[in-house]
Amino acid sequence: MGIMGFLRERMGVILVVIIGLALFAFIAGEVITYGRSFVSGGTNDLGEVAGQKVSYEDFNDKVKQGTEAFMQQSGQTSLTPQITDYIQENTWNQIISQAIFKKEMDKVGIVVGADEIQSLTSGKNVSPQIAQYFTDPKTGQLNRAALNDVLTRYRNAKPGDPLVQQWDKLVTSIIEQKRIEKYFALLHNGLYANSLDAKDDYEAKNKLVKFKYAELSYASLADNKVSVSESDYEDYYNEHKGQFKNPQESRSLEYVTFNGAATKADSAAIRAQVDKLVPAFRTSTNDSLFVQINAETKAPLIYQRKGQLDPVLDSVMFNAAPGFIYGPFVSGGAYKVAKLVDSRVGPDSVKARHILISAAKAGGIDKALSRADSLKKVIQGGKSFADLAKVFSEDTQSAEKGGELGTFGRGAMVPSFEEAAFNGKPGEFKVVTSQFGVHLIEIESQTGSSKVVKVATVDKPIVASNKTQSAAYAQAQAFLGAVNEDNFVQQAKQNKLTVKTADDVSGVSSGLPGLDNARELVRWAYKADKGDIVDQVYTSGDQYIVARLSQIKEKGQLPLDAVKNQIKPEVINYVKGKQLSSKLESALNGSSSIEQVAQKAGVSAVPVENVVFANPVIPGLSLEYKVVGQIFGSPVKKLSKPIAGQHGVYVVQVDSFTNPPALTNPVREKQQIVQTMLQRADNLIFDALKDKANVKDNRAKFL
């Protein structure tokens, strides 16, 4: 398989390595036109990593390549905002990872030697990336002949040959993968466990405790019976300050929406339009032209097998006569009417090969057609189709195999190609055009036989009328004119509107809850100040939006005000814990057993056994790290002080400990500890390096 073929027509992306997170990647492939624009706002710096500037041009190029790769692999011709977000976020993480790890690897002098490179690209044990693209699918073995052919073409290539650039990118990615493998191997070699570690881990998993507890649950006090002061918030915040570090800047919004979707009247008007088309559609003698003129979706008319049509049509068209009209009916958000143009019995699959001629490279479509006709005559005169495909076909992936496309079913090829392949006869040559160029097709064989139908469909999307949209916009505009930063919620209630919230929105988000495409609104939020009302009515699909910026969370340590609402439930339990602890303190006074404490507190003493330190779960309740941790540090038969846990406040009394047999061979325990460390190490290493790299993310200003 040709290197140009797999890089351009298939993957487009060469993954360098994924260790824990998506740590490092190189994207290869040709740049395509990409719809999003990047506004620099007077600066070229999208961000900064470890002092290294990241330009938005470089980021944009990589996003284009990632977009091309995704579209090639998924077969999609357009992307949702969510997929675009994913590609951009993945690209950003790749750039960060590349900069961070390159600096670290250069610092410690990690290199890949010439002999290693030769071994990875053409030796006995080639890189998995090479194997991925040069493995014969029939045998599962590396196709050495195909690999050697590409290497020979690479060595003999002239300057400027795209093959050189593509192969060099592949080799670069393989080298960087090997470097990072060495880097992590170096770090992994520093992870070890000694005999004391093994002994502690063994006892944590096998030492058993038997105890009783008395608990006053937080739920035993109603929230509205608890008075929480500002000092309670401050105390809780100060005790848990480490939990409130914000990894990236975010915004929170309050917003209301005004529905501009199609009404029943709009739907009825569109239905009437379709009804008027039915008589003309019924008598039409050129159904393809009728569809092109009247349909919103101008799909070509091709024969389709059962299961390929709209489910509603699939059940009627295979039993109808040509000329049969079905509809109007609703499907996919549109009114549709369908006409059975023809039905026949045709093959289920075709085996074919082709030579693809680029119209652009040939100097126009006419010259490409002329070249295809010339090749057809040469082949009919006795020349080898396979040999000519290798020389002339732009489809390098199939050209390597003599133009062979294998056996394919209906729906696998573009319409014009499919029509020629399925409607022709074995042994025939066909010349057709498609969006890829001009194809010279040889139909090698056809298999199977089943009924197929050609259906023409006219559709009209059910969309809102201008009147409906104008009314919704006018309502939104009126609301915008009446609100300010102080009365937003009040005005919404007066207008019987639901105030929605979007918390912690990142600067690169494209959507908000219930709004798939709200990028312009997010961009406004990152230019506004807290409390600001939008400067205009924003649109997302058929929704008109008026919003207020309710909160700004800067990157780094968040102040109490920024997390106050978030920690309210915990602070309430914190205050309850003080009250319940006081009650248990009173119960402890003069008590010598857990049963006495429980009786005074009005609860039961609950016996528990076979709990281990490594799994701190109190049966029937929850994980209680603090409680179980204190139990394993308590003397036998002694009452504990009140312990504020996750579920409530406890007093515990240990009855006994059961020690496991002595650990005689710590090797297995050591191996398990190291394995656990290795599973966590890569992510922790990356997080530490990322934190040290002082990453600055300015994407909100560009995207």
**Average pLDDT, stretch 366-392?**
92
Q: Are 252 and 501 in contact (CB under 8 A)?
A: yes
Q: Are 114 and 122 in contact (CB under 8 A)?
A: no
> Would 71 be classed as within a structural domain?
yes
Look at residue 265 in the predicted model and tell me its pLDDT. Answer: 96
Look at residue 14 in the predicted model and tell me its pLDDT. Answer: 30
Determine the Cα–Cα distance for residues 60 and 36; give it in Å rounded to an integer. Answer: 9
Look at residue 208 in the predicted model and tell me its pLDDT. Answer: 97
pLDDT tens for 12-23 read 333 333 323 233
> Would 481 be classed as within a structural domain?
yes
**Average pLDDT, stretch 558-582?**
94
Determine the Cα–Cα distance for residues 452 and 341; give it in Å rounded to an integer. Answer: 11
pLDDT tens for 644-681 read 999 999 999 999 999 999 998 899 999 999 999 998 99
Q: What is residue 602's DSSP assignment?
A: T
> Would 511 be classed as within a structural domain?
yes
**pLDDT-wise least confident of 3-7, 55-59, 134-138, 502-506:** 3-7
Contacts of residue 542, defined as CB under 8 A and 6 or more positions apart, other chains included, come to 259, 260, 261, 262, 464, 469, 472
- Say how many CA atoms lie within 13 Å of 223 toward its Cβ: 6
Determine the Cα–Cα distance for residues 275 and 291; give it in Å rounded to an integer. Answer: 15
Determine the Cα–Cα distance for residues 543 and 258; give it in Å rounded to an integer. Answer: 6
> Would 103 be classed as within a structural domain?
yes
Domain boundary among 313, 345, 377: 345
Q: What is the CATH number of the domain that holds 364?
A: 3.10.50.40
Distances (CA, A) of 225 to 13, 232, 571, 579, 590: 59, 15, 14, 11, 29
Q: Which of 303, 365, 5 is closest to 170 using CA atoms? A: 5
Share above pLDDT 70 across residues of the chain, in percent, rounded to a whole number: 93
User: 3-class DSSP state for residue 338?
Assistant: strand
Q: What is the DSSP string of 436-467?
A: TEEEEEEEEEEE--EEEEEEEEEEEE----HH
Same domain assignment for residues 74 and 162 = yes
Q: What residue numbers bound the domain in which 272 lies?
A: 264-345
User: 3-class DSSP state for residue 51?
Assistant: coil
Q: How far is CA 112 from the centre of its chain?
A: 33
Look at residue 458 in the predicted model and tell me its pLDDT. Answer: 96
With a cut of 60, say whether residue 603 has pLDDT above it.
yes
Domain boundary among 345, 366, 398: 345
Look at residue 362 in the predicted model and tell me its pLDDT. Answer: 87
Region of 141 (left: φ > 0; alpha: ψ -120 to 50; beta: rest) is beta
φ, ψ (nearest 5 deg) of residue 9: -100, -15
- The neighbour count for residue 373, using CB atoms within 10 Å, is 14
Same domain assignment for residues 480 and 613 = no
**pLDDT-wise least confident of 78-92, 273-287, 364-378, 544-558:** 78-92
Distances (CA, A) of 325 to 191, 282, 332, 340: 73, 7, 19, 7
Residue position matching structure tokens 């990336």: 129
Look at residue 543 in the predicted model and tell me its pLDDT. Answer: 95
Q: What are the structure tokens assigned to 508, written together?
A: 């690169």
Determine the Cα–Cα distance for residues 328 and 336; give it in Å rounded to an integer. Answer: 5
Same domain assignment for residues 291 and 255 = no
SS percent in the chain: helix, strand, coil, step 5 = 45, 25, 30
More confident residue, 495 or 75: 495
Same domain assignment for residues 305 and 430 = no
Same domain assignment for residues 538 and 567 = no
Residue position matching structure tokens 């699939």: 314
**Average pLDDT, stretch 517-525?**
92
> Would 499 be classed as within a structural domain?
yes
Same domain assignment for residues 435 and 469 = no
Same domain assignment for residues 175 and 316 = no
Same domain assignment for residues 334 and 269 = yes
> Would 698 be classed as within a structural domain?
no
Q: What is the CATH number of the domain that holds 620?
A: 3.10.50
Strand partners, 342: 454
**Average pLDDT, stretch 449-478?**
96
**Average pLDDT, stretch 516-525?**
91
Q: Are 436 and 396 in contact (CB under 8 A)?
A: no
Average pLDDT of every residue of the chain:
88
Q: What's the pTM value of the predicted model, to 2 decimals?
A: 0.68
pLDDT band at 535 (very low <50, low <70, confident <90, very high): very high
User: 3-class DSSP state for residue 123?
Assistant: coil
pLDDT band at 28 (very low <50, low <70, confident <90, very high): very low
Same domain assignment for residues 318 and 439 = no
> Would 110 be classed as within a structural domain?
yes
Determine the Cα–Cα distance for residues 623 and 612; give it in Å rounded to an integer. Answer: 12
Share above pLDDT 90 across residues of the chain, in percent, rounded to a whole number: 64
Q: How far is CA 479 from the centre of its chain?
A: 36
pLDDT band at 411 (very low <50, low <70, confident <90, very high): confident
Look at residue 40 in the predicted model and tell me its pLDDT. Answer: 33
Q: What are the structure tokens assigned to 627, written together?
A: 């409680």
**pLDDT-wise least confident of 41-55, 439-453, 522-536:** 41-55
According to DSSP H, which parts of 495-559 are helical?
Answer: 519-525
pLDDT tens for 385-400 read 999 999 899 888 888 8
Determine the Cα–Cα distance for residues 597 and 228; give it in Å rounded to an integer. Answer: 28
pLDDT band at 138 (very low <50, low <70, confident <90, very high): confident
pLDDT band at 143 (very low <50, low <70, confident <90, very high): confident
φ, ψ (nearest 5 deg) of residue 260: -110, 25
With a cut of 60, say whether residue 605 has pLDDT above it.
yes
Look at residue 626 in the predicted model and tell me its pLDDT. Answer: 95
For the chain, the domain total comes to 5
Same domain assignment for residues 356 and 423 = yes
Domain boundary among 312, 345, 378: 345
Q: How far is CA 66 from the centre of its chain?
A: 13
Residue position matching structure tokens 């490409």: 368
**Average pLDDT, stretch 279-302?**
93
**Average pLDDT, stretch 467-473?**
96
- Say how many CA atoms lie within 13 Å of 71 toward its Cβ: 18
Q: How far is CA 150 from the centre of its chain?
A: 34
Same domain assignment for residues 86 and 54 = yes
> Would 648 be classed as within a structural domain?
yes
Look at residue 43 in the predicted model and tell me its pLDDT. Answer: 54
Same domain assignment for residues 144 and 221 = no
Q: What is residue 262's DSSP assignment?
A: -
Q: Are 378 and 388 in contact (CB under 8 A)?
A: yes
